[in-house]
Amino acid sequence: MAAHATLPFSCSSKLQTLTRTLSPRGPLHLRRGFIRLPSLAAFPRFSRAPHPSCRHISASAEASNGASAEGEYDFDLFTIGAGSGGVRASRFASTLHGARVAICEMPFATIASEEHGGLGGTCVLRGCVPKKLLVYGSKYSHEFEESRGFGWTYETDPKHDWSTLIANKNTELQRLVGIYKNIINNSGATLIEGRGKIVDPHTVSVNGKLYTAKNILVAVGGRPSIPNIPGIEHVIDSDAALDLPSKPEKIAIIGGGYIALEFAGIFNGLKSDVHVFIRQKKVLRGFDEEVRDFLAEQMSLRGITFHTEQTPQAITKSNDGLLSLKTSKETIGGFSHVMFATGRKPNTKNLGLEEAGVEMDKNGAIVVDEYSRTSVESIWAVGDVTNRINLTPVALMEGGAFVKTVFGNEPTKPDYRAVPSAVFSQPPIGQVGLSEEQAIEEYGDVDVFVANFRPLKATLSGLPDRVLMKIIVCATTNKVVGVHMCGDDAPEIIQGIAIAVKAGLTKQDFDATIGIHPTSAEEFVTMRNATRKIRNNTASEVESKDEVVTKQ
């Protein structure tokens, strides 16, 4: 694995809008925590002057919140982990409600460990942001191929320099770490560098120093989880894959989830020989079945080899340094890299949670109620550590709802309805709401509109690129309950469509909307005839004549 690099905790002071890349996850199965609704009486009364930056807040907001009496505790809130959820909650508690907040974060390293992390957390340092930068970098090869049909010629094929991409990506990450430091400092919260550990329901230790707080927020996220099989010391995880010293020549990627597919697209775009090994028959468990098939086909057409129904058993390294992967079906050699993208585990080990009485599930995720409160009254948890929907915007929402509940006198549950997400594969997926299968299970009678077409660009590029779009409608109410797309710009398009789905708009509303021509997105407002009408869960599936809309 790549060695740890150290970044300073300083950078540009200019506050900028942070990249907010939305993303995926299989359709959203929420784990049910125990339900314990906190009564307003459970929230302590506000008892001290607010932070100067929020003197304007209303009397009612000040009347009751999670602040402690002066001197009772060092802080009103102590947050462990300065990632998406922790920073959002700490900042809002301090600036909006005048709470006395401390937040601790471990020193930066490229690869996260029990002792290393970095301001900004996974999204900024080892997830959404660096991943998307590499996706951008890798997409050019497909665009170069497309350009030939539009008249471009090259004397020689353009060359890619991996070290330039990684160096520029790292410069950007340093800038973001600096921005996060400024965000925290400007909010008035106290930033403490080091590993936090819960000592008791109101005490956290960092580097041996004890801090007391009325409320503790655990926002420690998760880390890659890799099975312990022979030769596992030779493999890399997603942290390392984002910061390799050289580009893989031939890579085996184990896993069929969104992270595996995004990296497969990155390395394929950069002209590595990419093999994806999945345990099941299909990629992206939990996504719409038609979308799963479509994406795998499109990725195969771009040169990625899928090995299905295979479990990895061992990795061996030969004298020439190349790796062989033995699976339940075959052994393939010659890999420069083997990457495991086999899931993530919450960072709850050795955090003092058991000792403090905080309940966890069998995967180590913290069990919380609908307000993100743990089984210990003063300890709360948001983000990936609770394993609800593990996405940055969801961690932000949970952090914001926690602050309203505890400091704003406004008990607020995070709202998990119609959370849109994306897979930044190539081509990418955007989706919001239910898959066809989930909609049938939930509503029984469902109308499905499908368009599978060759986009305009492909007519001249000559490439076999296609686009898949689906609208899923509850036949009883005519409400659009799910929208899915796989094709260029799908995440950008679905972000807009998500507003309509969240607002509960009907298929008529979609039909009444005028398209923007010529775009792929206009198909979402011009799909007139249902491709399938599913009634009473199965039997009378009516296939319409235009099963697949072909748009040339």
Ligand X SMILES: Cc1cc2nc3c(=O)[nH]c(=O)nc-3n(C[C@H](O)[C@H](O)[C@H](O)COP(=O)(O)OP(=O)(O)OC[C@H]3O[C@@H](n4cnc5c(N)ncnc54)[C@H](O)[C@@H]3O)c2cc1C
Query: Which residues contact ligand X (rule: CB under 6 A)?
Result: 21-23, 80-86, 104-106, 112, 117-118, 121-123, 126-128, 131, 195-196, 219-221, 238, 259, 347, 351, 383-385, 390-393, 395, 424
CB nearer to ligand X: pick between 221 and 255: 221
Spatial separation of the C-alpha atoms in residues 301 and 514, rounded to whole Å: 33
Least distance from C-beta 162 to ligand X, angstroms?
18
CB nearer to ligand X: pick between 266 and 467: 266
Annotated binding residue 214: no
Least distance from C-beta 179 to ligand X, angstroms?
14
Six token digits for residue 524: 């979402």
The alpha carbon torsion through 32, 33, 34, 40 (nearest 10 deg) reads -110
Six token digits for residue 486: 């796989």
Least distance from C-beta 282 to ligand X, angstroms?
21
- Adjacent-strand bridge partners of 206: 196, 209
Spatial separation of the C-alpha atoms in residues 167 and 174, rounded to whole Å: 11
Least distance from C-beta 340 to ligand X, angstroms?
12
CA distances in angstroms from 259 to 24, 126, 344, 368, 506, listed in the order given: 9, 11, 10, 26, 33
Six token digits for residue 180: 């996060």
Least distance from C-beta 515 to ligand X, angstroms?
28
- The backbone torsions φ and ψ at residue 538, rounded to the nearest 5 degrees and listed phi first, read -155, -75
Annotated binding residue 261: yes
Quick one: residue 66, left, alpha or beta (phi over 0 = left, psi -120 to 50 = alpha)?
alpha
Annotated binding residue 86: no
CB 268 within 8 A of CB 303: yes
Which DSSP string corresponds to 189-213? PEEEES-EEEEETTEEEETTEEEEE
CB 390 within 8 A of CB 233: no
CB nearer to ligand X: pick between 327 and 374: 374
CB nearer to ligand X: pick between 427 and 455: 427
CB nearer to ligand X: pick between 44 and 430: 430
Residues in the chain: 552
Least distance from C-beta 157 to ligand X, angstroms?
29
Annotated binding residue 269: no
Which DSSP string corresponds to 290-302? HHHHHHHHHHHHT
CB nearer to ligand X: pick between 44 and 117: 117
Least distance from C-beta 267 to ligand X, angstroms?
13
DSSP-derived pairing of the beta strands 379-381 and 209-218: parallel
Contacts of 360 (CB under 8 A, 6+ apart): 346, 348, 353, 354, 366, 367
Annotated binding residue 482: no
CB nearer to ligand X: pick between 107 and 231: 107
Q: Identify each DSSP E strand in 379-445 by its residue range.
A: 379-381, 421-423, 429-433
- Adjacent-strand bridge partners of 446: 474, 534
Spatial separation of the C-alpha atoms in residues 491 and 520, rounded to whole Å: 13
Annotated binding residue 258: yes
Annotated binding residue 196: yes
Long-range contacts of 325-330 (CB under 8 A, 24+ apart): 325/252, 325/254, 325/277, 327/277
Q: Is the peptide bond before 227 cis (omega within 30 degrees of 0)?
A: no
CB nearer to ligand X: pick between 67 and 385: 385
Least distance from C-beta 206 to ligand X, angstroms?
7
Annotated binding residue 255: yes
Place of tokens 């009485």: 357
Least distance from C-beta 264 to ligand X, angstroms?
13
- Enumerate the active-site residues: 517
Spatial separation of the C-alpha atoms in residues 112 and 122, rounded to whole Å: 9
Annotated binding residue 384: yes
Long-range contacts of 148-156 (CB under 8 A, 24+ apart): 148/461, 148/462, 149/460, 149/461, 149/462, 149/463, 150/460, 150/461
CB nearer to ligand X: pick between 44 and 121: 121
Spatial separation of the C-alpha atoms in residues 228 and 525, rounded to whole Å: 49
Annotated binding site for NAD(+): 255-262, 343
Annotated binding site for FAD: 132, 196, 384
Annotated binding site: 132, 196, 255-262, 343, 384
